[in-house]
Chain A
């Protein structure tokens, strides 16, 4: 494999904002024109990631962004609670350990991802 392919794939796997922005042509953490603040936008993004059963790196990226934008741990956990009836318990429970880790709480029950 070409070296630059390797580097790109690695950066995509890390949920690297620069690489993803270049790929998508728009900032990954863009806020909308309607004035949704950075904190709320990050929480909405987190909800979407849970619904999609995303990779560990995506959760870490998203939650770190939410916390940096001023979201509290409680708010992050709330996202899971309000999502459960909509996306179903399995998605929420698979996201829970990852989200916990992202807010600095190691539940000690890793969902060992395939190919880790």
Chain B
């Protein structure tokens, strides 16, 4: 359940500003080729070598800062006879949903693509890296030739995001090429790509300039050196372009060449020294202090800089710096700028050394300004850097639901875990209660329970950031948790429905939970009336997931009164709601697939029933005790679908999952009885061969990873199990799918719909 993408969900275009909530900053400049300074040296030697290598699908450029990775990528991609999609990665891309949105926007700028396929949400428990790679690869194959450049990939530290890029490299259509620029190891399975001859690798040695290139670079700065001095400089800098550049700047200013005391190839510290002695010392003091102190900011505007530095005319200074190419404009209005990336790192190091105590102060001021000026997420980032836990907690409580509704689940997760690590959820009940509800919906029961316990400590008068009492959220949280059985679900969900702000999409979720508890307690009429209401309201406020569940529940009511025609109609509408809202990978969508399977089987459409059952089976690992009553109900519906298909082994596998949840939530009275009855029915059936439906949740969790290029040992690391366990489960998967190898298993799983569609 939970909120869908919102009323904007119908927007099918790829306007990045509308991708997420309209007030999320979408950094358009990340999709543009970074600006060049002066006349860049053409890396003809290197480009010729890359050309000789032929049509190798992947180009990996890895070197420390200042080696001209971006310049090379720009020149290389300009030579390709195809449109270029460019993404300069930023910190915010460490959420797979955000990375995907930027990649989609980058591709859309190069070539028209089908936006709809990008929008499906990626809940935890789904093979997120595979989904991202699949979607980007599919878009690439629909566009015709495209060159996709991912620059600054060292910023990606989220494992899922790194795996996604690595996976994409294996899935490129023949018409596409991928280039990755990174300071550290690029997020690619280099050895496996190498074995296939699918990657060209460029490192610092390749990027180092020879005397000819060095001469061109210096000439660009108006500096000409005699051959011997030039050779000496190149030897000393080992051809490191940024050092050559700085040397040229120093020469221009002082009329002589000052090579640094020691060779400083790629060493940040030595380069920082050089920056300090050769560059900052020649910039007017006010300017250099401004640049150093504003290095804490991702984006610079006059008012923001004034607020952070306590100055008054930062706007004009920014314009001047932009004219001197010392900062990069982000718009045409002269409102927003940013530092050059390489430069900013050095400036930050400088700040840390010169004024270490000032950094948190500057961040705190930035947080205050961003919060007051409608940039809550930037404010969260600065408040975190300032260590201002209270502000982070308050801002996260006000922002979490928006990010969740956007599908930026990685961001939600990161915020809450930051608070959790600092013990802040114990003292901030609004954040704790929202965290508990969202973690329950994200199928993370252990975390949800722990945070729920913290939220329970809230003083009665606590209010949420919107001013409403916390009681409504506590009630919703308890309703979803259902520790006290169905009667308690009904009581709490009913309370939540009344206490949550009217018109809130969460009222619809509460109504569905309440209605479901009626249905499970053999009160189908009362349930149906409330469900019909939830469907009507849900459509108004645009909550697809809860509406889809409500429709599926109504189909179950219809089946119970033996009205299969009505059931089929309702199941069809539920399925349409799932697809319309791009939420087909959520665990509770399994309820929809289960009722579709049941109605199809009843009509005798075995093919359709099997396909829907497979869809539901795929989502089984997400059916945990986090929202126990819904999980068990869904599992029992899946078991009934198996029975309708005379699949006793499948039914037993599903009932085993239900037992696991019931063991943790024993008070779900009628559901336990129903499970026992179903088990008795299964006992009367002959068990046939074990097929896909008898896969265990552990095996189902493994299947998407089998479709990657990760080794068993690497898969084990991602699932936190041993290599032996992975291998054993893989063998079990092969047997149940009737295949004898990993690649056949992936093909078969794809056919059956176990990898999603």
Contact = CB atoms under 8 A, between A and B. Distances in A.
A60 B683 contact: no
A56 B731 CA distance: 9
B171 to A, nearest CB: 26
Given A14-B740, A16-B740, A104-B697, 4 more contacts: A17-B735, A56-B724, A110-B722, A116-B727
B690 interface: yes
A13 to B, nearest CB: 8
Given A15-B735, A101-B725, A104-B698, A7 B687 contact: no
Given A106-B725, A116-B724, A68 B732 contact: no
Interface of A: 7, 10-11, 13-18, 38, 56-57, 60-61, 64-65, 67-70, 98, 101-102, 104, 106, 108, 110-113, 116
A68 B696 contact: no
Interface of B: 648-649, 652-653, 656, 679, 682-683, 686-687, 689-690, 694, 696-698, 721-725, 727-729, 731-732, 734-736, 738, 740-741
Nearest to B734: A14
Given A65-B690, A67-B656, A68-B687, A60 B722 contact: no
B728 A56 contact: yes
A64 B690 contact: yes
B722 A18 contact: no
A60 to B, nearest CB: 5
A14 B649 contact: no
A98 B728 contact: yes
Given A57-B735, A60-B731, A69 B687 contact: yes
Contact of A110 (B697, B698, B725): B725
A10 B740 CA distance: 6
Contacts of B697: 104
A17 B690 CA distance: 10
23 contacts: A10-B740, A14-B740, A15-B731, A15-B735, A16-B740, A17-B689, A17-B735, A38-B687, A60-B731, A60-B735, A64-B690, A64-B694, A64-B735, A68-B694, A69-B687, A70-B683, A106-B721, A106-B725, A108-B721, A110-B722, A110-B724, A111-B724, A116-B723
Contacts of A10: 740-741
Contacts of A17: 689, 735
Given A16-B735, A116-B724, A70 B694 contact: no
Contact of A68 (B652, B721, B724): B652
Q: Which one of A10, A18, A68, A69 has the greatest number of beta carbons of chain B within 10 Å?
A: A68
Cβ-closest 3 pairs across A and B: A110-B724, A68-B649, A10-B740
Contact of A64 (B648, B682, B732, B741): B732
Nearest to B697: A104
A64 B729 CA distance: 11
Contacts of B729: 101
A112 B735 contact: no
Contacts of B652: 67-68, 70
A17 to B, nearest CB: 7
Nearest to B652: A68
Contacts of B741: 10
Nearest to B689: A17
